């Protein structure tokens, strides 16, 4: 999360220094600094999505209660009380047992599905990749933006894979966590945030279009004269 917050703060600072995309707003009869307002909108939505992702992850963990791969080593069951001497008992699923290990560790070992590290890291990095796509513009290189997005997504994937290698999660737990984090990031960025509010529209001469401000009101913009099909940027 720290990397995502730092990158978004840096991005909004660069946009503010260039003097584009920031407007002052009134809150409680007081004027809010444009940079503070922009950071509030971007980071506030990001933290809201993080809360949603964590809430869904905890709901899955505590409602399913899947055992982690290292559950037996943490539980330390009392094997002397288990009868595994006959051939029929070797393949029997044991449900009545007593854990001799630490109760807190045993409780944590029952929360395998889904992976919280995978879901949280994927949400943060996926949202950061979407932020880079929406905010970053550099015409000198076409590969810089996808390269940075590849780096942050790879970091999230490696975080999830590390949970498999240290036997803290099954592969399906990690896959479900990565999917949940990516889904929450996509939904929040598309439906809640205004990262893609600035867009290009194409209109024919003589057709009027309206420009919406942050409060939902609209202002009439005169039609553009020129060729049969022109590109107009709305900011």
Q: Which of 70, 117, 170, 200 is catalytic?
A: 117
Residue from 22, 169, 170, 200 carrying the catalytic annotation = 169
Answer whether residue 167 shows pLDDT above 50.
Answer: yes
Q: How far apart are alpha carbons 223 and 205 in whole angstroms?
A: 6
> pTM of the prediction?
0.76
For the stretch 33-70, what's the b/e string if a residue is b when 16 or more beta carbons lie within 10 angstroms of its beta carbon? ebbebbbebbeebbeebbebbeebbeebbeeeebebbe
Catalytic annotation present for 200: no
**Active site includes 169?**
yes
pLDDT tens string 11-54: 888 877 876 555 666 666 677 777 888 888 899 999 999 999 99
- Which candidate, 91, 7, 129, 212, places its Cα nearest to that of 221? 212
Q: What is the pLDDT of residues 77-115, one digit of tens each?
A: 887 777 767 666 667 777 788 889 999 999 999 999 999
List the chain domain ranges. Answer: 33-68+112-197, 71-108, 200-234
């Amino acid at each position: 999360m720290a990397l995502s917050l730092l990158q978004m703060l840096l991005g909004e600072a660069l946009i503010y220094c260039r003097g584009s995309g920031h407007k002052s707003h009134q809150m409680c009869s007081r004027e809010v600094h444009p940079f503070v307002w922009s950071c509030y909108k971007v980071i506030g939505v990001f933290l809201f999505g993080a809360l949603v992702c964590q809430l869904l992850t905890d709901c899955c963990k505590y409602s399913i209660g899947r055992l982690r791969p290292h559950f037996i080593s943490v539980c330390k069951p009392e094997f002397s009380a288990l009868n595994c001497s006959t051939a029929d008992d070797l393949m029997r699923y044991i449900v009545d047992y007593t854990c001799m290990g630490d109760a807190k560790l045993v409780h944590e070992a029952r929360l395998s599905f889904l992976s919280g590290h995978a879901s949280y890291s994927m949400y943060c990095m996926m949202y950061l990749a979407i932020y880079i796509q929406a905010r970053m513009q550099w015409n000198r290189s076409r590969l810089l933006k996808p390269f940075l997005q590849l780096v942050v997504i790879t970091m999230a994937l490696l975080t999830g894979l590390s949970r498999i290698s240290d036997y803290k999660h099954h592969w399906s737990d990690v896959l479900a966590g990565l999917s949940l984090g990516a889904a929450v990031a996509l939904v929040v960025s598309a439906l809640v945030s205004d990262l893609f509010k600035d867009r290009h529209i194409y209109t024919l001469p003589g057709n009027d279009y309206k420009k919406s401000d942050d409060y939902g009101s609209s202002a009439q913009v005169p039609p553009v004269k020129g060729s049969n099909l022109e590109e107009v940027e709305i900011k």
